[in-house]
Amino acid sequence: AAAFFSLQPVTSALAGIHLFRDPLPASQDPTCPTAAEPGVGTSSLALAAWIRSLPGLIVSNPRLVEVGGLRGTEIDVAIRSDWTQSCPFANGLPTVPLFVGSDGQLRWVVAGSERLRLSLLDVPGGGTVVVDIDAFDGSLWEDLLAVATPIVQSFVFAAP
Name the DSSP class of 55. Answer: T
Nearest CA to 45 out of 17, 65, 67 is that of 65
Q: For residue range 81-110, list pLDDT tens digits in order.
A: 999 999 999 999 999 999 999 887 889 999
Residue 80's pLDDT is 97
Please give the average per-residue pLDDT across 115-137, as a whole number. Answer: 94
H/E stretch holding 58 reads strand 57-59
Residue 2's pLDDT is 61
Nearest CA to 129 out of 87, 157, 105 is that of 157
Q: Round to whole Å and give the CA distance between 143 and 135.
A: 9
The half-sphere exposure of 142 on its side-chain side, counting CA atoms within 13 A, is: 1
Calculate the average pLDDT of the chain: 92
Q: Residues of 95-109 as b/e, b for ≥16 C-beta within 10 angstroms?
A: bbbbbbbeeeebbbb
Residue 1's pLDDT is 55
For residues 160 and 139, the model is more confident at 139
Residue 9's pLDDT is 72
Please give the average per-residue pLDDT across 45-64, as a whole number. Answer: 96
> Confidence band (pLDDT; 50, 70, 90) for 3?
low
Residue 15's pLDDT is 87
Residue 103's pLDDT is 82
| pLDDT > 90: percent of the chain | 78
Please give the average per-residue pLDDT across 2-20, as a whole number. Answer: 78
Q: What residue type is 142 in one-letter code?
A: E
> Confidence band (pLDDT; 50, 70, 90) for 7?
confident
Q: Taking the complete model, does pTM exceed 0.85, yes or no? A: yes
